[in-house]
Amino acid sequence: MSFVSNSPLSGTANTGRLTALRMPATVALSFAIIAIILAWSLAPQFFTTYSPVVGVPADKFLGPSFSHWFGTDHLGRDLYARVVYGTASSVSSALVAVVIGVLFGGLIGLLAGFLGGWVDVVLARLVDVLLSIPKFLLAVIVVTAIGFETINAAIATGVSAVAFFARVTRSEVIKTRQATFVEASYLSGGSRWYILLRHVLPNASRSVLPLAVLQFGESILIIASLAFLGYGDPPPASDWGLLISIGKDYLKWPWLVYAPAFVTIVTVLSVNRISRWLRKTD
Amino acid sequence: MSNAYLTYAAKRLGQAVVVILLAYVFTFVVVSILPGDPITSVLRNPQNGFSEQEIAEIIAAQGLDKPVPVQLWNALSGFLTGDLGMSMRSNRPVSTLIAEVLPSTLILAGAGLAVALVLAMLVAYGTRFVPKKYGQGLLRGFPSLFLSVPNFVIGLVLIHLFGFQLGLFRVINPDSFWATLFAAVALGIPVSAQIAEVLIANLDKEAEQEYATVARSRGIGQLKLFIRHLLKPASLPVVTVIALTIGELLGGSLITETVFGRTGVGSLVQRSVSTQDLPVLQAIVSLGAVVFVLVNLIADLLYPLLDPRVKILGGAKRRPTTTDEPSLGSAKAVNP
C-alpha cells in the first residue's frame, strides 16, 4: 500500500515532509481521521450545535443535507450530532477493552514466558480454555453475568482478548530471554527482575503495540455488536452500534443505518491501517 | 502412519479432552460466581409472577440450594453423560431446546462457510491473475476492508439493497431460499476476509520461493505455474485457518440470525440472555467450545497427513501460519 508515497505526483511540500517521516499518505490520512474521532469524543459540543437528545418532531426523517449532514431520525434528532456525541462512549469503551486485554494478557504471558516450568504449564492451559470458547460467545456470557451496560460490554470484550495477548507476550518473552544480550546481562550480574524490567519487557512491548492498536479496532466492532444486540447502555445513549440497531427498524430511511456504519467502518479501517504501518516500520 | 504420529495424536486428544472439561468449569464459574446473582433477580422479578413456593421448588429442582462445588460436580457429571439440565424458564430439557434449533443454524453456518471459501479463493487466486493496472489492488484490499465492517452492517446492507430495493426476499419469511442465501453471504463475508488474508500471504510467499523462480526460468506460463506449483502449498494451511474461523461462524450466526429474523442457536442465546436462562447459556457456550476444540483437533491431526513437509518433532507440531519461516516451503518442497 506504499504506492502513494512513491508516486511521482507527490511534489507538494506537505507530502514531501510526509515522505521524510517515511509515512505513506494513507497512514497520514488515517491519523487525521483518528484525530477527528478523538476530538469528537473529547469535545463534541464544538462540532455540532444540535442536541443529541432533544429533537424537533416536525423535522423527522429528513434526508442528509447541508443543515443535517447525516439527516434526522424518527424523533427529528440530528443524526450527525448523535454520532458525534456517541463517539466518546464508543471510543473509550474500546480503549478499556484493549487495556484489560493487554494488561491481563501481558501479565499472564510475561509470567508464563519468564518463569517457565509449572507456572507456564498451568497458565498455558488457562489460555487454551479461554481460546476454546468462541470469542463473541465468551463476551456475551460475561456481559450477561455482570449486567447490560456499555462499560460491562467493554470489560467482556477485554476478557475475550486476554488469551490472545497472553500468547503473543509469552512467545515474545521467550524469544527475548534467549537473546545474547540477555545472557550477557545475566553474566554481568543482572538480577532476574532487573532483566525482566530492563530488557524483556521493553522488547516484548514493542511487538505488542501494533497488535494492541489492531485490537482497538476489533474492540470497536465487538462492542458495536454487543450494543447492536442491546447489551450496552439503552437509548438515549448513542453508541455507534446502538444507532445502527435503531436504524435497522427504519430501513426506508437508509441513512439511519449507513451514516453511523460509515463512521464505524472508516474509524476501524484507519486504526487497522495504522497498526499495519507500525508493524512494518518495526 | 508412524509411531511419532500416533504419539502426537494421542497427546493432542488428551489435551482436547482436558480443555473441554476446563472450558465447562470456566463457563460455570462465570455464570454462577460473578456478582449480580441473575438467578434470584429473575425468579424474584414480580413480572414473572412466581410464588415463594414455586421459587423454592425451582431452586430445589435446579440444585441451587447446594454449595457451589456440589452444583459444579453435578453439572459436570451431567454434562459428561449428555444430560444438559433443565431450562429455568420453559421447564424443558436444555438438550431438546437446542436440538430444535440446531438444524437451522447448521444450514446457515454450512452455507456461510461455503460462501466464505468460494469468495476467499476467488479473491486470493484473482490476485495472481488480475494485473496491477486492472484492479489487483482492489482484490488485495478486500480482506482489510471487510475485516473493518461490523458483520451486522453487511446483513443490513444486503437486506436494504436486495430485500427492500430489488424485492428478492422478504424479512418476514426468513427460511426462504433467497433469505437464507443472503444470510449466508452476510455471515460468510467477514470469515472469507480472514481466509483470503492468509491465502494471499501464502501465495505471495510461495511465488518468491526458489522452486517458483526455477519453474519460471524454464519458461512456464503464469497459469501453469499457479496450478502446478503454487496452488497446493499455498492452500493447504487454510485447513487450519478454517478450523480457527469456526468460532467466528458460531459467534457471527448469533448476530446474523438476529438481523435476518431467523430462529436458531443464536436466537436461542439471545432469548436466554434476556431471560437470564443460565442452564441454556451454559450448555450452548460449552457446546460451542466442544465444537471449536474438536474441529481444531481434526484439523491438527489431518494436517501432517495432507502436507508431507510438516514434520512432527517430539510431539510438538509446527503450526503453519502466515508468519512461518521459509523452512515450511523451502526449495526442496517442490510438489511431486
% chain B with pLDDT above 70: 82
ipTM: 0.80
- In this complex, is the C-beta atom of B126 within 8 Å of any C-beta atom belonging to chain A? no
Could you tell me the pTM of the whole model? 0.83
- In this complex, is the C-beta atom of B17 within 8 Å of any C-beta atom belonging to chain A? no
Please tell me the distance from the alpha carbon of residue B261 to that of residue B145, in angstroms, as a whole number. 26
| β-sheet bridge partners, residue A72 | A78
CB spacing of B156 vs A261 below 8 angstroms: yes
- For residue range B84-132, list pLDDT tens digits in order: 777 777 778 888 888 888 888 898 999 999 999 999 988 888 887 777 7
- What pLDDT, on the 0 to 100 scale, is given for residue B97? 86
- In this complex, is the C-beta atom of B273 within 8 Å of any C-beta atom belonging to chain A? yes
Please tell me the distance from the alpha carbon of residue B177 to that of residue B157, in angstroms, as a whole number. 18
CA distances from B67 to A281, B71, B73 (A): 55, 6, 10
Give the distance from residue A141's alpha carbon to the nearest chain B alpha carbon, in angstroms: 7
- What pLDDT, on the 0 to 100 scale, is given for residue A103? 92
Q: What is the mean pLDDT of residues B200-224?
A: 80
CB spacing of B144 vs A273 below 8 angstroms: yes
Q: In terms of DSSP bridges, do strands B312-313 and B316-317 run parallel, antiparallel, or are they unpaired?
A: antiparallel
- What pLDDT, on the 0 to 100 scale, is given for residue B116? 92
The residue of B17, B30, B271 whose CB has the most chain A CBs within 10 angstroms, and thus the best one to mutate to test that interface, is B30
Q: Which of A50-59, B214-223, B296-305 has the lowest mean pLDDT?
A: A50-59
- What pLDDT, on the 0 to 100 scale, is given for residue A98? 94
Q: Work out the widest C-alpha separation in chain A, in whole angstroms.
A: 78
- In this complex, is the C-beta atom of B148 within 8 Å of any C-beta atom belonging to chain A? yes
The residue of B15, B136, B153 whose CB has the most chain A CBs within 10 angstroms, and thus the best one to mutate to test that interface, is B153
The residue of A2, A30, A130, A136 whose CB has the most chain B CBs within 10 angstroms, and thus the best one to mutate to test that interface, is A136
| B254 contacts on A by Cβ (under 8 Å) | 136-137, 140, 229
Question: Under a CB-based contact definition with an 8 Å cutoff, are residues B292 and A134 in contact?
Answer: yes
- For residue range B165-178, list pLDDT tens digits in order: 777 766 666 777 88
CB spacing of B23 vs A129 below 8 angstroms: yes
B42 band by pLDDT with thresholds 50, 70 and 90: low
Helix axes B177-207, B238-260, angle to 10 degrees: 150
The residue of B39, B139, B156 whose CB has the most chain A CBs within 10 angstroms, and thus the best one to mutate to test that interface, is B156
Single-letter code of the amino acid located at A277: W
Residue A61's region, left for phi above 0, alpha for psi from -120 to 50, else beta, is left
| B148 contacts on A by Cβ (under 8 Å) | 217, 221, 265, 268-269, 272
Alpha helices in B130-176 (DSSP H): 136-146, 151-158
Angle at A68 between CA A64 and CA A74, to 5 degrees: 80
- In this complex, is the C-beta atom of B156 within 8 Å of any C-beta atom belonging to chain A? yes
Neighbours of B24 (CB within 10 A): 23
Give the distance from residue A233's alpha carbon to the nearest chain B alpha carbon, in angstroms: 14
Question: In the Cβ-directed half-sphere of B97, how many Cα atoms lie within 13 Å?
Answer: 25
CA distances from A235 to A110, A121, A244, B33 (A): 41, 45, 12, 29
Task: List Cβ neighbours of B274 (8 Å cut-off, separation of 6 or more).
Answer: A230
CB spacing of A137 vs B19 below 8 angstroms: no
Give the distance from residue A218's alpha carbon to the nearest chain B alpha carbon, in angstroms: 8
CB spacing of B276 vs A229 below 8 angstroms: no
CB spacing of B38 vs A142 below 8 angstroms: no
B317 band by pLDDT with thresholds 50, 70 and 90: very low
- What pLDDT, on the 0 to 100 scale, is given for residue B328? 33
- What pLDDT, on the 0 to 100 scale, is given for residue B326? 36
| CB-closest option in B34, B159, B269 to A140 | B269
Please tell me the distance from the alpha carbon of residue A160 to that of residue B40, in angstroms, as a whole number. 27
The residue whose grid cell reads 449486567 is A147
- What pLDDT, on the 0 to 100 scale, is given for residue A100? 94
- What pLDDT, on the 0 to 100 scale, is given for residue B151? 83
- For residue range B229-270, list pLDDT tens digits in order: 777 777 778 888 888 888 888 888 888 988 888 888 888 888
Give, for all 282 residues of chain A, the pLDDT tens digit: 444 444 444 444 455 555 556 778 888 898 999 999 898 888 888 877 777 777 777 777 677 777 777 777 777 787 788 888 888 888 899 999 999 999 999 999 988 888 878 888 888 888 888 888 888 888 888 888 887 888 888 998 999 899 889 988 888 888 888 888 888 888 888 787 888 888 888 888 888 888 899 899 889 999 989 888 888 888 777 788 888 888 888 777 888 888 888 889 999 999 988 888 888 776
| CB-closest option in A132, A136, A142 to B254 | A136
| CB-closest option in A132, A229, A268 to B293 | A132
Alpha helices in chain A (DSSP H): 3-6, 13-20, 25-42, 79-115, 117-132, 135-146, 150-177, 180-187, 192-195, 201-228, 240-247, 255-281
| β-sheet bridge partners, residue B86 | B93
CB spacing of B289 vs A224 below 8 angstroms: no
Give me chain B's average pLDDT, please. Answer: 78
Say which residue, A244 or B56, is predicted with more confidence.
A244
Give the distance from residue A262's alpha carbon to the nearest chain B alpha carbon, in angstroms: 9
| B31 contacts on A by Cβ (under 8 Å) | 141, 144-145
